[in-house]
């Protein structure tokens, strides 16, 4: 079906948000603040003892805390794809079939990206009259057909890939930074990230966000701001003003600077008197990277971190903010995920989600505005092409367990769970528990340390319902065409759009497509 024919034009002059007492002739502005590798335990309001996030904590005090909220995947690119499509990566194609249950993403050598067949949030909001901008990391493909302005965004300031480097521009090119459809420089060249960790990128991302809000407000446009700074992804960086300020080291410096950006954005909304008409959601793309040890974030009481489907890999520090609508200081224990933001924001804009495909996201407004909890809502934890676990209510069942291979763990010293060791749960071999899934009660045991015995009355009463949820999920699962299977050095950022204007085009090597190797 052609993308422009997915929806019927809306005839609504007014929109009403599910709840009868909230109706308005003005569409609410929408902001998603998506952090990178920030853990559940990094915020003061989530228990971090450093208490270095006063603005994020104040945002929670003025809004709602969602301690049971998840990313769409334990890795960056698939999680971001799940947000913008409202669909699990296994459906939207952001996975690999090169090996079983492997995490895959979009490095420079990846050939694939977000398919045209997927309908993105930015596209739907554009039809409703919204102006959309992404600031920071895109990570859904870097070839021209995958860039943000090809998928509904009006503006783009940031990069297509993570800020890895520096490279020599021979074997590997440095990552380009874009303004809209063209590059304006490269990381480590025009946009410096020094070996000391000093960089002004977060300040640039803050300034871009503030400017976009001011401009759209002045023009009277409803807007969608997708603010996705990546300073907390290794190698972490912060501006000179913030370097050395945190008791947590360089990672904490980056968190403190991002916190200041959150404060500035929310303050501007109040100053412009549009705070009561702006819905803001804060979260992270996946759990903290525990393999960075003291140089990474905290996942609080949860097991393991990024790359895994244990709670530390996918449960995120999440806050919803909408003055005048969300009761200040509320805590919602609704099980939710980043995919729910898709459906919530589509419906807030007076639109409908696509009817020609399964949308995994559900509208969060009943939970946020009325405090309701849907006990039947399920969360599926995928790693690559495998459903590893499921949660419903407070129960979580692991159908597969795996941290990473013993070879990688021993020889390469890659440890996704440093300082933790739960026998029979943290396995270095892919272990299939489908016949008798490992069951945990996340209320009594948030750290997934104590397996509920399979011969217990509790297990026997709970597992049939969970198995029925999984069976239903798999029965209507239509797999997306995997986008993360093929890699080719020729598709790297050698000659991005706009490079010729800057004299920054680099020679493109001969194409040599091969299967990507995903070790974990």
Q: According to the model, what pLDDT value does residue 26 have? A: 83
The two beta strands, 131-137 and 378-383, are: unpaired
Mean per-residue pLDDT over the chain, rounded? 95
Distance in angstroms (rounded) separating the CA atoms of residues 321 and 106: 31
Q: According to the model, what pLDDT value does residue 6 have? A: 38
What are 131's two structure tokens?
């102006």
The two beta strands, 486-487 and 514-515, are: antiparallel
Q: According to the model, what pLDDT value does residue 20 have? A: 36
Average the pLDDT over 17-41 and give the result: 78
Percent of the chain at pLDDT above 90? Answer: 95
Q: Is the pLDDT of residue 228 over 70?
A: yes
Q: Is the pLDDT of residue 154 over 80?
A: yes
Query: Omega into 166 within 30° of 0, i.e. cis?
Result: yes
For 131, phi then psi, to 5°, come to -100, 130
Q: According to the model, what pLDDT value does residue 398 have? A: 98
Catalytic entry in 16, 21, 23, 139: 139
Give the number of other Cβ atoms within 10 Å of residue 373's Cβ.
Answer: 15
Q: Is the pLDDT of residue 14 over 50?
A: no
Distance in angstroms (rounded) separating the CA atoms of residues 495 and 504: 7
Residues 6+ away with beta carbon under 8 Å from 294: 249
Give the global pTM.
0.95
Helix axes 250-271, 54-62, angle to 10 degrees: 40
231-248 per-position pLDDT tens digit: 999 999 999 999 999 999
132 has which bridge partners? 224
Residue 42 is classified by DSSP as G
What are 30's two structure tokens?
């929408």
Would you call 443 exposed, middle or buried from its count of C-beta atoms within 10 A (0-12, 13-18, 19+)?
exposed
Q: According to the model, what pLDDT value does residue 2 have? A: 40
Q: Is 23 designated active site?
A: no
Distance in angstroms (rounded) separating the CA atoms of residues 210 and 157: 13
134 has which bridge partners? 156, 226
468-507 per-position pLDDT tens digit: 999 999 999 999 999 999 999 999 999 999 999 999 999 9
Q: Determine which of 14-18, 75-79, 127-131, 335-339 has the lowest per-residue pLDDT on average.
A: 14-18
Give the number of other Cβ atoms within 10 Å of residue 240's Cβ.
Answer: 12
Q: According to the model, what pLDDT value does residue 42 have? A: 98
What are 94's two structure tokens?
């952001």
Residues 6+ away with beta carbon under 8 Å from 349: 15, 27, 28, 30, 124, 125, 128, 130, 222
What are 295's two structure tokens?
């140089």
Distance in angstroms (rounded) separating the CA atoms of residues 368 and 373: 9
Contact 127, 3 (CB under 8 A): no
Binned at pLDDT 50, 70 and 90, residue 18 comes out as: very low
Residue 131: its H or E element: strand 131-137
What are 98's two structure tokens?
């090169």
Q: Is 304 designated active site?
A: no
DSSP one-letter string for 223-251? EEEEEE--TTSSSP-B-TTTTT--TT-HH
Distance in angstroms (rounded) separating the CA atoms of residues 440 and 396: 5
For 393, 452, 457, the CA distances from 443, given in Å and listed in that order, are 9, 13, 18
Query: In terms of residues, how long is the chain?
Result: 520
Catalytic entry in 16, 21, 23, 76: 76
Distance in angstroms (rounded) separating the CA atoms of residues 445 and 433: 19
300-310 per-position pLDDT tens digit: 999 999 999 99
């Amino acid at each position: 079906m052609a993308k422009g024919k997915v929806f019927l034009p809306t005839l609504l002059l007014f929109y009403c948000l599910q709840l009868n007492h909230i109706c308005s002739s003005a569409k609410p502005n929408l902001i998603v603040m998506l952090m990178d590798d920030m853990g559940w335990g990094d915020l003061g309001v989530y228990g971090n003892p450093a208490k270095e996030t006063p603005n994020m904590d104040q945002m929670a005090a003025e809004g709602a805390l969602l301690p049971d909220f998840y990313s769409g995947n334990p890795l960056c690119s698939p999680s971001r794809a799940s947000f913008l499509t409202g669909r699990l990566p296994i459906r939207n194609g952001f996975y690999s079939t090169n090996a079983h249950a492997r995490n895959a993403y979009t490095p420079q050598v990846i050939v694939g990206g977000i398919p045209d067949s997927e309908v993105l949030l930015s596209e739907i909001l554009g039809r409703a009259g919204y102006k959309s901008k992404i600031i920071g990391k895109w990570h859904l493909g870097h070839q021209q057909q995958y860039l943000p302005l090809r998928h509904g965004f009006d503006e783009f300031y940031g990069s297509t890939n993570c800020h890895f480097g520096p490279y020599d521009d021979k074997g590997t090119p440095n990552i380009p930074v874009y303004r809209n459809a063209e590059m304006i420089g490269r990381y480590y060249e025009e946009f410096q990230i020094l070996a000391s960790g000093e960089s002004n990128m977060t300040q640039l991302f803050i300034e871009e966000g503030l400017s976009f809000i001011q401009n759209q407000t002045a023009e009277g446009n409803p807007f969608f701001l997708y603010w996705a700074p990546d300073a907390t992804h290794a190698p972490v960086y912060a501006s000179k003003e913030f370097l050395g300020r945190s008791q947590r080291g360089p990672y904490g410096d980056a968190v403190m600077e991002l916190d200041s950006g959150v404060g500035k954005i929310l303050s501007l909304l109040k100053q412009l008197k549009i705070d009561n008409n702006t819905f803001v959601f804060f979260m992270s793309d996946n759990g903290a990277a525990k393999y960075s040890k003291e140089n990474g974030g905290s996942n609080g009481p949860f097991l393991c971190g990024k790359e895994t489907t244990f709670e530390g890999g996918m449960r995120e520090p999440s806050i919803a903010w909408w003055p005048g609508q969300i009761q200040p200081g509320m805590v919602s224990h609704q099980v939710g995920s980043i995919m729910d933001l898709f459906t919530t924001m589509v419906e807030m804009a007076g639109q409908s989600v696509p009817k020609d495909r399964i949308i995994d996201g559900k509208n969060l407004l009943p939970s946020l505005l009325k405090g309701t909890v849907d006990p039947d809502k399920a969360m599926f934890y995928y790693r690559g092409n495998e459903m590893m676990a499921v949660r419903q209510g407070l129960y979580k069942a692991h159908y597969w367990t795996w941290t990473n291979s013993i070879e990688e763990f021993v020889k390469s010293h890659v440890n996704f769970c440093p300082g933790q060791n739960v026998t029979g749960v943290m396995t270095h071999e892919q272990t299939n528990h489908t016949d008798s899934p490992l069951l945990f009660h996340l209320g009594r045991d948030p750290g997934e340390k104590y397996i509920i015995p399979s011969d217990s009355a509790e297990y026997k009463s709970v597992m049939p319902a969970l198995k029925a949820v999984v069976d239903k999920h798999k029965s209507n699962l239509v797999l997306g065409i995997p986008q993360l299977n093929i890699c080719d050095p020729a598709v790297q950022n050698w000659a991005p759009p706009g490079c010729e204007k800057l004299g920054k085009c680099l020679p493109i090597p001969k194409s040599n497509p091969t299967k990507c190797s995903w070790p974990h």
